[in-house]
Amino acid sequence: MNDPDLQELCKGVYTLQAISPTQPLWQLLLQVGLGAVSAIGGGYAAVIARLRLEKKQEIEYIKTGIIDELHEFCTIIDKMVETQSTTNIIPPTYFNDLTANREAFDRNRERLFLIDDAPLRKAIVSFYKKIETEAAKARDTVGTLAPGANETAAVIRTFNAIKTEAQTLENQIRAYKFKTLGFI
């Protein structure tokens, strides 16, 4: 390659030699094998990382929806207590609102298993069952023509306790963290 025209033509062109005449075959196979293992391992790690990220995002989505609903339960109960304290009646629409306010729970009920804290999952499900049951009972109580002061006070006490339970559950859900260890 002493020809200056050929040197100018090949300037900046590099060749990749896969096999060196001085390199033994076992070294070449080892390099190729290590490269393949590294590529497969890196691809596997990337897939696992993506799956874990998707799972974490889905758990955050579920948590946010349920936390928003719990907060809304507390707001409805506050309005109900305020209405009762100023008018001495509890309109049944509050109980309808409480039972209707469960879209996030209903939408994500099948995916609650992603929250791997079994007592927390159980607390969420039992809270929603409790709100449904107590709202139906209270609707029947205040739906009578003349509910007594004792019945109305009992309903208010029950729903204040439910509000406290909702706030506690909200704090537990906020405190729940997706575990980073494990297969997926």
pLDDT digits (tens, 9 = 90+) for 39-57: 999 999 899 889 888 999 9
Task: Outline where 88-143 has alpha helix (H).
Answer: 93-100, 103-108, 118-142
Distances (CA, A) of 56 to 62, 90, 109, 114, 116: 10, 41, 17, 9, 12
Domain ranges of the chain: 55-175
- 4-13 residue pLDDT tens: 665 665 565 5
Name the CA dihedral angle for 58, 129, 127, 153, rounded to a multiple of 10 degrees. Answer: 150
- 64-112 residue pLDDT tens: 999 999 999 999 999 999 998 888 888 889 999 999 998 999 999 899 9
Highest mean pLDDT among 14-18, 28-32, 77-81, 153-157: 77-81
Q: How confident is the model at residue 147 (pLDDT cuts 50, 70, 90)?
A: low
